[in-house]
Chain A
Amino acid sequence: MKKIISFLLLQIITVTAFAQRPDTNVEMADLMRSNGKIYVVIAVLLTIFAGLLLFLISQELRLKRMEKKLNNHISNQNNNQ
């Protein structure tokens, strides 16, 4: 089940060739792309995302320990009764 769902979802992100931008007079950040400065922006975004992820994961692991502790406590309590 999980393999199928993961496969299908990851299938979506398989990028085929991106078409060349047609010549237009609309001003875009082409300079940022041509001199590679856009990677700086991507690095910043990835760092922020990584920070948030680490926070969420550590919070979940802490929660897991709490659940375990509480569960032991409750089952002890039930045994004593």
Chain B
Amino acid sequence: MNTNNWMRKWWWKVLAIMLMLFTIVIGMMATVPALPILHETIRNLYYHVPMWFGMTLMLLFGMIFSIKFLRNSRMEDDIIAASFTKVGLLFGCCGITTGMIWAQSTWGVFWNNDPKENAAAVGLLLYFAYFVLRNSMDDMDKRARVSAVANIIFYFTFIPIIFIVPRLTDSLHPGNGGNPGFNAYDLDSNMRMVFYPAVIGWTLFGTWITTVISRTEIVNRELHFSMNNISMNNSSKQLDSKF
């Protein structure tokens, strides 16, 4: 029973590297629409927006692993869920910082109190609260159970906050205040051909970072348990199956 086998595979990591190399090179080279105000900063679509898409997907995977944990109580699933959420939060912090830099150049100030900016900030605080909650408990079982439930609740709070609320009002962000999508920007399909690989590349890359973080944490736990002569999951006596 080697359920975490996908973590040790190399092919999807190579794929992530290829997609990201493509994004970096073609993202800088390809022709982009010449628009006033934006000028060359339109290329940030290839670098800033995938952060948010990647974050949403990382948080989604984290939530899925939280559900898996609640279904089968495997400690690995709890660790993986928390690692995905951690990387999601990292992407979110990068997204909000790059967004501020971009806002300074196009909208004039770093922080516009734009509905989407505020919503993203609230969403990030929600996930900071998740880690405060998680790390406030010493009992590992209790921590895993409570943070799994919290993760599921936070995800379904976060999605409406970041995707629906900004659309109910006027926002500087394209595609908000009524009309969906970012057609205002990438009318030409050339931009999509760099943007979608960027999203997939960052998602795979984030997953890769997640596997390294969670495997480190699993080794750390195993070490702790083996020193105290107990096994990590009561059900799995044969530890060979894990590695």
Contact status of A9 and B239, CB under 8 A, knowing A46-B24, A60-B212, A70-B219: no
User: Number of B interface residues, CB 8 Å?
Assistant: 47
Nearest chain A CB to B37's CB is how many angstroms away? 9
A6, A28, A49: most-surrounded residue (chain B CB, <10 A): A28
| Residues of chain A lying within 8 A (CB to CB) of residue B26 | 13, 15
Chain A 13-27 interface mask (CB, 8 Å, partner B; 1/0): 101101111101011
- Interface residue from A6, A10, A19, A77 paired with B188 (Cβ < 8 Å): A19
Chain A 46-81 interface mask (CB, 8 Å, partner B; 1/0): 100100010010011001101110110111011000
Interface SS of chain A: helix, strand, loop or mixed?
Answer: helix
Task: Please report which residues of chain B, range 21-66, place their CB below 8 angstroms from some CB of chain A when the two chains form the complex.
Answer: 21-22, 24-26, 28-36, 39-40
Chain B 12-25 interface mask (CB, 8 Å, partner A; 1/0): 10010111111011
| Residues of chain B lying within 8 A (CB to CB) of residue A64 | 8
Contact status of A12 and B222, CB under 8 A, knowing A28-B34, A42-B29, A71-B239: no
- Interface residue from B39, B190, B223 paired with A70 (Cβ < 8 Å): B223
The answer to whether A73 and B29 touch across the interface, beta carbons within 8 angstroms, is no
How far, in whole Å, are A22 and B200 apart by their CA atoms in the complex? 30
| Residues of chain A lying within 8 A (CB to CB) of residue B211 | 60
Contact status of A6 and B15, CB under 8 A, knowing A19-B188, A21-B31, A49-B21: yes
- Interface residue from A6, A19, A42, A63 paired with B28 (Cβ < 8 Å): A42
The answer to whether B193 and A66 touch across the interface, beta carbons within 8 angstroms, is no
| Residues of chain A lying within 8 A (CB to CB) of residue B139 | none
B138 CB within 8 Å of chain A: no
Using a CB–CB distance below 8 Å, which chain A residues touch chain B?
2, 5-6, 9-10, 12-13, 15-16, 18-22, 24, 26-29, 38, 41-42, 45-46, 49, 53, 56, 59-60, 63-64, 66-68, 70-71, 73-75, 77-78
